[in-house]
Amino acid sequence: MKTATRPYHHGHLRQALIDMAVTVAEETGKDLISVREVARRLGVSSGAPFRHFPDRASLMTAVAEEATLRLRIHVEGALRKAPAAPLERLKTLGHAFIRWALQHPTQFRLVSSRRLFDFDSSPSLQLHFSSVRDTTLALVDQAVRQGTLPAGCVNELALALRALAYGLARMQVDGQLPQWQVPMAQAEQHLCRALDRIVDGLAQPPERTPVARISASRPRP
């Protein structure tokens, strides 16, 4: 039930615009939402949004801020239930990243592309992004230190693993998976298995036989 003939006129329009922008984005699947449509759906005039955001890019920045926070929370939630082994945690992080991307494809595309809003202008965006990145870096560092991942530049390896998860998620979000014989229905499992395949392939000790117990004490010359 709306409040009579003058429903809006005031209220917390700013937040309503952000929420409706997300709704419209995920509904239409388009990267560029129409601020006029967002205004129309909220029952306000076409000029109203510009009292809260200087332009569409600023609105998209606000949307990206919230989406990045949700991605961070999703990933952190998954890690809370994960085992302690760094490699297992890395896989869990990757799975959570992929899962969130597939469930919120338009938001995922938005937060991934620095070209649709102004990343540098938003401290909260930078904070939430860095948090996930730092978690990745820390896990890779632990794995390298304990010898379960091959030695070398941590930054470089973390970048590669992030790119792997990002690439897998984006191939689905961009609609490429049909050309790789991956049925849409089990896309998530397929992508997570592909990720595990690489991580397990990189893992140092086969831990098949408890004989060797390699490195862990043999960092680098």
Binding mask 85-124 for a second copy (x = CB under 8 A): ---------------------------xxxx---x-----
- Binding residues for DNA restricted to 12-31, rule: CB under 7 A: 13
Query: For DNA, which residue of 41, 52, 74, 99 counts as binding (CB under 7 A)?
Result: 52
What is the smallest separation between the CB atom of 35 and DNA, expressed in angstroms?
Answer: 4
Q: CA-to-CA distance for 25 and 107, rounded, in angstroms?
A: 8
What is the smallest separation between the CB atom of 57 and DNA, expressed in angstroms?
Answer: 6
Q: Is 21 exposed, middle or buried (0-12, 13-18, 19+ CB in 10 A)?
A: buried
Binding site partner of 168, from DNA, a second copy, none, Cβ cut-off 5-8 A by kind: a second copy
Give the H/E segment covering residue 68: helix 56-80
Helix axes 13-28, 35-42, angle to 10 degrees: 120
Stretch that binds DNA, among 38-46, 121-129, 147-155, 169-177 (CB under 7 A): 38-46
Complex with DNA: residue 33 or 169, whichever CB lies closer: 33
Q: Does 5 bind a second copy (CB under 8 A)?
A: no
Query: For a second copy, which residue of 27, 31, 55, 207 counts as binding (CB under 8 A)?
Result: 31
Q: Does 125 bind DNA (CB under 7 A)?
A: no
Torsion sign across C-alpha atoms 89, 92, 96, 97: positive
Q: Does 213 bind a second copy (CB under 8 A)?
A: no
Stretch that binds a second copy, among 25-33, 63-71, 72-80, 138-146 (CB under 8 A): 25-33
Binding site partner of 127, from DNA, a second copy, none, Cβ cut-off 5-8 A by kind: none
For residue 94, give the nearest of 165, 160, 168 by alpha carbon. 165
Tokens of 26: 């995920």
Binding site partner of 164, from a second copy, DNA, none, Cβ cut-off 5-8 A by kind: a second copy
Half-sphere exposure (CA, 13 Å, Cβ side) for 172?
Answer: 28
Binding site partner of 13, from DNA, a second copy, none, Cβ cut-off 5-8 A by kind: DNA
Q: CA-to-CA distance for 144 and 42, rounded, in angstroms?
A: 52
b/e burial code for range 22-55 (CB count within 10 A of at least 16 → b)? bebbeeeeeeebebeebbeebebeeebbeebbee
